[in-house]
A and B are shown apart, each in its own frame.
Chain A
Amino acid sequence: MNARPFRMKCAIFLCAIFSLSAAFAQSPKSRYVVIDQDAMGPAGTDMNSMLIILQSPDVNVLGITVVTGDGWRNEEVAHTLRLLELVGRTDIPVVAGADAPMVRTKQWTSSWEQMYGKVLYQGAWTMPRSAHNPEEVPKLAEGNPTIKAASEDAAHFLVRMVHKYPHEVTIYAAGPMTNIATAILVDPEFASLAQELVIMGGSINPHTDDPEYLDSPRHEFNLWFDPEASSIMLHARWAKISVTTVDVSIETHLTAEMLAEIGRSHEPAAQYIVRYTRKPGDYLWDELAAAAWLDPSLITRERYVFVDVSLDKGISYGDTLVWTEHDKPSISLQKAHVQMDVDWPKFQKMFVQLMSAPTPKAHDPQMLHPSPGESKQ
């Protein structure tokens, strides 16, 4: 980035105001981002990652687009709206996107499993998340929102934002890639007009005993759930692609100590996380993707390789594919910055700091209701 003198002044000014991590000085100008999430809450990786971005003072969140993935879209929209109410950021539009993958269906996937074996985690298709019907918004533990989603669809919102701020908007995508691919189909210029693409997705060679990856190391839910969308996304012409893989995510956990420390804060974000985190120990999948975008120095090792997703409907369907220049087939792909290792102590510190802080630009944050689950409606 060419830091002009004006930006330098801004940087000094911002640092004076926000006595947060010095890392933010690297990005003096307010950065635009659209968050695309399969926002299954309350708390958990989808919601926490939004908080990482919302809690960062020099980020301008243009909107949050929602896609079926970890949960059903309509419920996810409600969790997102409620989170924004709680932290006082109801000025940010929430936009509903795809309610299902482009081509893959649950029924087809069930037949596939009979042939090739069980897929342990299937998001909204996994019980008990699929216990209610896809359209229904159940009673939420954190309370149901009173604000509503925007009337636009996610793809058009994404397209509109990159046209409004050409080459300035980061697309942060941490759910299945259906909305992103749809935006590319709606407007072939979409990818090249974005500043960069940041995704949580893919798995290459994770060192873990986790049964989800032990015997299927190239399988990762976000890219697997909608393989066609993932492939469309990875074939588009982005200026830069950053990928947070399972390989690096499994080095991170939301520990009991971190939760205890965050719990000392009475700010809305801290209270939300502490109250609704079901149990400590979850991987910080999407949080790392968000944090590494804010502070790239968190990543200590990366590979710069070509990434795609298998569209072969056989046993590899949806698996992560990786090539170097030496073995890449003759297809149009761009190299991606694939994160492999993280500075875990540094990330931990940043996470606790951000989550304990007051929410920047907050207006009228709502206190958590004394008896969670009681809807204000």
Chain B
Amino acid sequence: MSGAVLAGAILFPPRALLATAVPPPSAGSNNGAQKVIIDTDPGVDDAFALLLAMRSKELKVMAVTAVAGNVPLSVTLPNALRLVEIADRADIPVASGASSPLIRRLVTASYAHGNNGLAGVDFPSAPLQPVKEPAADLICRMVRENANQICIIGIGPLTNIALALRQDPEIVPLVNSIVLMGGSLSGGNVTPAAEFNFYVDPEAASVVFTSGIPIRMVGLDVTRKVQLTEKHVAALRAGEGRVSEAAARIAEAVMSMHRRAGSERGPNLHDPLAVSSLIRPDILSFEDYQIEIETSGSITAGESLGWKHAPVRHSAPMQNTGDLENAGDFSFRVNAKVATEVDSEKFFELLISRLTTG
């Protein structure tokens, strides 16, 4: 962050100050292992993200919480259980979360993930059961039991996380940080304005960004630069063990879905990129932004907008309304670090090595 920007920034709520001051969570003092809760809607790229996290010693996965998003909760929850089982990590509790966004109807992306969320690959159902505790309760409890130690990784719509922050507002200062896949400062994917996760639950995204918790946003700006190729699929296929095999099957299936749809390019691996930033801090570089989420537009809801400095202008006032120009609050408040650059090669190196070597 440049000195000029810092001088112009009015940093509050107070936690926003921390957003610029805390080191990357992976550099924490937890004997190297960062405690994380992964909130997810598996989901093809979620599957890769979960497998990557569970195979990385730098992360201690405390729990996986499922949310409706890419596909309905009735599919994301069993998928989360399957993936935990495939990684031989039955020690990780899996909790069931929200079946719909806070105040909107659920929109899914089964067109991109297949009806079963895993590009149609049929894994036997896992012999595991979810814990009884609902996702938001589990998040609140674990954050309280591990004050200032847990990074919440949100790679689906942010409904569960927003609900946790609303049902128990006292946990806000106890969350170490949130790393999320979502948003974009360069156009959306589900609409020209909005990235899917924020589009599905813009209100939840807004709750998270106004919470004051230090946020790292990994959005389409970088995730659209990490694309799965046949070369990566072959590397996964060459690996050994169940994780490698499962990843290869999903990768092959999603590549052929893309080919059938007439696309020559593979899918973007959005979610594992967000996870990778906690394992290898040099894959992504971040810049400070004030992020706001559009919750009101009739065609732009879920759009994320980032300001780099004051004045933080909103839409020009209508002629029959007051004069915002003279009375508005344009002060600048950093509330997130946004990933702006990615080293794609390093990312795939990490992903494939973790998924293929036991």
Q: Which residues of A are interface residues toward B (Cβ below 8 A)?
A: 98-100, 102-103, 105, 107, 110-111, 113-117, 153, 155-156, 178, 182, 185-186, 188, 228, 231-232, 311-314
Contacts and interface: CB of A to CB of B under 8 A. Distances in A.
B134 A311 contact: no
B167 A155 contact: yes
Interface residues on B, range: 20 to 34
Contact of B296 (A102, A113, A313): A313
A27 B318 CA distance: 55
Interface string B194-213: 00000000010011001000
Contacts of A231: 103
A105 B210 contact: yes
A103 B295 contact: yes
B358 interface: no
B98 to A, nearest CB: 7
A311 B324 CA distance: 22
Contact of A99 (B163, B169, B210): B169
Given A115-B317, A231-B103, A186 B323 contact: no
Contacts of A105: 210
Contact of B167 (A100, A156, A228, A232): A156
Given A182-B163, A182-B166, A312-B296, A102 B207 contact: yes
Interface string B173-215: 0000000000000000000000000000001001100100000
A114 B327 contact: yes
A117 B317 CA distance: 12
Contact of B322 (A114, A185, A186, A314): A114
B328 interface: yes
Given A116-B322, A182-B166, A186-B137, 4 more contacts: A107-B329, A185-B102, A185-B166, A232-B103
B29 interface: no
A115 B321 CA distance: 5
Interface in B121-137: 134, 136-137
Contacts of B323: 114
A328 to B, nearest CB: 18
Instruction: State the majority secondary structure of interface residues on B.
Output: loop
A105 B295 CA distance: 13
Contacts of B134: 186
A155 B134 CA distance: 13
B314 A232 contact: no
B202 to A, nearest CB: 9
Contacts of B321: 114-116
Given A102-B207, A228-B203, A313-B295, A115 B322 contact: yes
Contacts of A114: 317, 321-324, 327-328
Contacts of B318: 115
Contacts of B168: 153
Contacts of A99: 169
A211 to B, nearest CB: 18
Contacts of A312: 296
A228 B103 contact: yes
Interface centre among B167, B317, B322 (most CB of A within 10 A): B167
Given A153-B168, A182-B163, A102 B324 contact: no
Interface string B295-306: 110000000000
Nearest to B168: A153
Nearest to B326: A114
A50 B322 CA distance: 40
Contact of A186 (B99, B136, B296, B328): B136
A178 B329 CA distance: 26
Nearest to A116: B321
A186 B159 CA distance: 11
A182 B167 contact: yes
A209 to B, nearest CB: 25
A100 B322 CA distance: 27
B72 to A, nearest CB: 14
Contact of B102 (A111, A153, A232, A313): A232
Interface centre among B137, B163, B203, B322 (most CB of A within 10 A): B322
Nearest to B203: A103
B193 to A, nearest CB: 15
B167 A311 contact: no
Contacts of A102: 102, 166, 203, 207
28 contacts: A98-B166, A98-B169, A100-B169, A102-B102, A103-B203, A103-B206, A105-B210, A111-B314, A111-B328, A114-B317, A114-B324, A115-B317, A115-B322, A115-B324, A116-B322, A117-B322, A155-B167, A156-B167, A178-B166, A185-B98, A185-B167, A186-B167, A188-B99, A228-B102, A231-B103, A232-B103, A311-B103, A313-B295
